[in-house]
Amino acid sequence: MTEARCVAFGVFFGVSAVAQFVGAAEFAPPAAAEPPLERTRLVPSFEVSAALAPSIVFGDPANPQYTQSFSRVGAFGELGIAYRSSYFVDPFLSVGYATLATGDSAMPAGPWGQGGTLTQHLGAWVISPGITSDIWRFRPRVGLGLAVIVQSFEFLGNKNTSTQLPIVTQLGLGFNAFDGDRLRLDLEARVVLATGADVTFMTFGAVLRGDLFYFGSS
């Protein structure tokens, strides 16, 4: 009987321990849900950027009836600075240059004298303040500034240049392809309108942005 009692007491205590463990597991309050992740508040920074993109200009050559060759495809490069704030809008200032179009025209003899080949080139400086904003991974851009439209002509060894200074509007939309600690890379499409000079061109390329220094701490 003594051994039987020991076994019975052992079984009893074992079953009791298991029952208490199961009961505690059943009636334990559920673990508190983790709070949803909040959007990280950015530390304001002074940002520098560089953009490089092919461009395409809209419109017709100056002398379509005499045109031998004409290219409306060029290249656009830009340097910019921005205040990358901890809020919704980031102001920027950018300076860019676009080589837009080139062409050759066979000019017949006329009031200007003997005939020959007229070589033309169209370029534009774009100086524009504006604002950008980060919306998820998209980055819209709006800018309003000044353009310096430069048209150069070479005919029979003589070179001439004309310049216009119209107001310019930039509208762009970028997609953030890479976002590192201090470095970001965007793919951006942009339309630049210099309506006063009747020049409109579009670019699609890459924008590399980096934080030069921070204001304050996180």
Q: CB-based burial of residue 147 (10 Å sphere; 0-12 exposed, 13-18 middle, 19+ buried)? A: buried
Distance in angstroms (rounded) separating the CA atoms of residues 211 and 203: 24
Determine which helix (DSSP H) or strand (DSSP E) holds 26, and give its type and residue range: helix 2-27
Distance in angstroms (rounded) separating the CA atoms of residues 94 and 2: 95
Determine which helix (DSSP H) or strand (DSSP E) holds 108, and give its type and residue range: none
Which domains occur in the chain, in start order?
A: 45-212 (2.40.160.20)
Global confidence as pTM: 0.76
pLDDT per residue as tens, the chain (218 positions): 444 444 344 434 443 444 444 344 444 444 444 444 333 546 899 999 999 999 999 987 767 777 788 899 999 999 999 999 988 899 999 999 999 999 888 878 777 677 788 889 999 999 999 999 999 999 999 999 999 999 998 888 889 999 999 999 999 999 999 999 899 999 999 999 998 899 999 999 999 999 999 987 65
At CA 138, angle to CA 73 and CA 213, rounded to 5?
95
Handedness of CA 134, 137, 142, 146 (dihedral sign): positive
